[in-house]
Structure 1
Amino acid sequence: MASMDPSEALDLIRQERANTGRALTPDPRLMYWPWGLTWLIGFGLSFLRYGPDGRTLVALPEWVPLFGLTALMIAAGLFTGLVGARSGRSVSGPTSRQGIWYGIAWSAGFTGLAVVFGRISEVLPEHLMGLLWGGGMVALVGALYMAGGAIWNERTMFTLGAWISAVNVVGVLLGPGWHALVAALAGGGGMLAAGLIGWMRLR
């Protein structure tokens, strides 16, 4: 059998590495789009019920925005967790451990913020309470996405985290009501765009 040209061998190696990477990487649309829709709908409900300057744009029951966002977050978390677990079944060693530790970091971060914010909320006016919870949690998401992008050298994830962090600052500066709108459109829309861009790059 004729020996393979070195350049052909390198091309074959690159192709096989790319194929392996695609096989082990979950579809970015399945990882980002559920969260994008969650933010778009959940924060959108909050904006409609608790609009700028204390206005109620749509007379929804008070419990609807929080219940809707919480239910959507649980559903998105379960869905993306299953997708990530399926793609990582054949991965072991340091990479698998990184993923587990990264998931624990998300849980620990949200639990810690919830405990702190729960105590602080007791002394805050109602209109600032929502801004504290929304702005703080979105800030944590942005930071964790940037950390994940740095860990896995994933440009799309890091850029998304930077974008979420930036729009969160803008939303907080605009104030209660406006933050929910910014998080819904710019934050949720950014996740939808990240899923599409990641999918295109993966192809």
Structure 2
Amino acid sequence: MTPTDDDAPPLDPAESLALIERERANLARSLTPDPRLMLWPWGFAWLIGFGLFFLRFGPDGRVFVDLPDWLPLVALMTLFIVAGIITGVAGSRSSRQMAGPTSRQGLMYGLTWSIAYSGLSALFAQFSGDMPNEQLGLLWAGGMVALTGALHMAGGAIWNDRNLFILGAWTSLVNVAGIIAGPGWHSLIVAVGGGGAMIAAGVIGWMRLR
């Protein structure tokens, strides 16, 4: 008579705990979106978009590459839209497997991003005609990056994600350094330090998930 799984001797406590931990880790991996899909689109958007701003509107009005004035902003906004679509699809695929408080947390956190950016945009738009272009550009870019850093840190606190919190703190420090350096330099610092950090965080998160 061929033995079945029911005939196998019970696992000892250590083996049972190890099995539970393995299954818990497998479940976490299946429910967690690929960090590359969540961070790389934004990282490359920052790297390319703010990089174009630096090339066209460099420090002290210097033009490194004679691009059309409208191109950096249009490119940055287009890249942001594409990044939002990619991360939205990736996040929704994972959220469909969850229900209850966790799903509501994700929805509320996503809405927080949209509402916060809309409010900040409405505020900055009120000053668009009262400031020089260089200072106005720094206000918009610095404010948006500051909000991104704060929301990343808040997300890290909500999900108990140390890496996301560190990314938010780093983004905030990079933003402060860029603001102090001034218009032009801010774009370069945010492109390399902020966008590059998101790309690196995506790689690190993917390796940890594996």
Give 1:196's match in structure 2, choosing from 168, 191, 203.
203
Q: Following the alignment from structure 1 to structure 2, what is the Cα–Cα distance between the partners of residues 106 and 59? A: 34
TM-score norm. by structure 2 comes to 0.96
Q: How many residues align?
A: 203
Q: How does 1:15-30 map to 2 (within 5 A)?
A: 15-30=22-37
Q: How does 1:40-51 map to 2 (within 5 A)?
A: 40-51=47-58
Q: Following the alignment from structure 1 to structure 2, what is the Cα–Cα distance between the partners of residues 34 and 118? A: 26
Deviation at 1:78, TM superposition (A): 0.4
CA RMSD of aligned residues (A): 0.6
Alignment match, 1:140:
147
**Is the aligned partner of 1:180 residue 2:187?**
yes
Q: Following the alignment from structure 1 to structure 2, what is the Cα–Cα distance between the partners of residues 181 and 121? A: 23
Deviation at 1:161, TM superposition (A): 0.3
Deviation at 1:70, TM superposition (A): 0.2
Which ranges in structure 1 are unaligned for 5 or more consecutive residues?
none
Q: Following the alignment from structure 1 to structure 2, what is the Cα–Cα distance between the partners of residues 104 and 26? A: 18
AA paired with 2:181? L
TM-score norm. by structure 1 comes to 0.99
Alignment match, 1:101:
108
Alignment match, 2:122:
115
Alignment match, 1:77:
84
Encode CA deviations 1:146-195: one digit per residue, 9 max, x unaligned.
Answer: 00011001111111000000000000000000000001000000000100
**Is the aligned partner of 1:13 residue 2:20?**
yes
- Name which one, 1 or 2, has greater alpha-carbon Rg: 2
Runs of 4+ in structure 1 deviating by more than 6 angstroms, as ranges, are none
Which ranges in structure 2 are unaligned for 5 or more consecutive residues?
1-6
Deviation at 1:121, TM superposition (A): 2.2
Alignment match, 1:67:
74
Alignment match, 2:45:
38
Alignment match, 1:126:
133
Q: Following the alignment from structure 1 to structure 2, what is the Cα–Cα distance between the partners of residues 122 and 5? A: 73
Q: Following the alignment from structure 1 to structure 2, what is the Cα–Cα distance between the partners of residues 189 and 179? A: 14
